[in-house]
Amino acid sequence: MRGLPVIVRLALAISAPLAQSRASQELHAQGVVAGYLPEYRWYVDVESAVACCLTDLILFSVQPLASGTLDAHWINPANFARARAAADAVPGRVVNVLLSVGGAGRSGGFAAACASKGGRRKLVKSLVALLDAHALDGLDFDWEVRPGNYFKTADGFRFY
């Protein structure tokens, strides 16, 4: 994807799971079985879970920072490789490896990063670089806002 405009690269990265092999499309037509794997659960037998049942493995999580960069320290780089290898080892179907962005206690930087065109551009570049670096198939945006009246918060307005 190198050489494409950043927004096109992000759109392709987000939609890549939709354009997978026919076998994967047929499996997804029957339903999606996603496994959500937080950084503190890597002791489980990821390989068996992926091989048995999953159409999608979602790795939790990286945190967007106000600067538009990412804090990815929660996921050990070796675990990115382990997830990719487990997904690629499944015969006869595609298992997508997705990255969750934000989530519980990790969404605080979304609003500031998305408040300006430059911040959004930097966030997209950071996400695409991380997807490329670890051969990930797409993203799961988990932008959680503070409790209260959602549409009266800056986060709510910037999201829409």
Across the range 46-59, mean pLDDT stands at 90
Q: Map out the domains of the chain as residue ranges.
A: 6-142+150-159
Share of the chain above pLDDT 70, in %: 72
Domain 6-142+150-159 fold = TIM Barrel (3.20.20)
pLDDT at 32: 84
Distance CA 72, CA 86 (A): 21
Nearest partner of 133 among 8, 53, 13, judged by Cα: 13
The two three-digit tokens of residue 14, written as one number: 């987000």
Assess whether pLDDT exceeds 70 at residue 84.
yes
List helix spans (H) across the chain: 6-15, 22-30, 46-52, 77-88, 110-113, 117-134, 154-159
For residue range 22-44, what is the model confidence (pLDDT) as tens digits?
Answer: 555 565 567 788 888 988 888 88
Per-residue model confidence (pLDDT) at position 28:
57
User: What is the residue type of 70?
Assistant: L
Flag whether pLDDT at 121 surpasses 50: yes
Burial 111-140, CB ≥16 within 10 A → b, else e: bbbbbeeebbebbbbbbbebbeebebbbbb
Cis before residue 61, ω within 30 degrees of 0?
yes
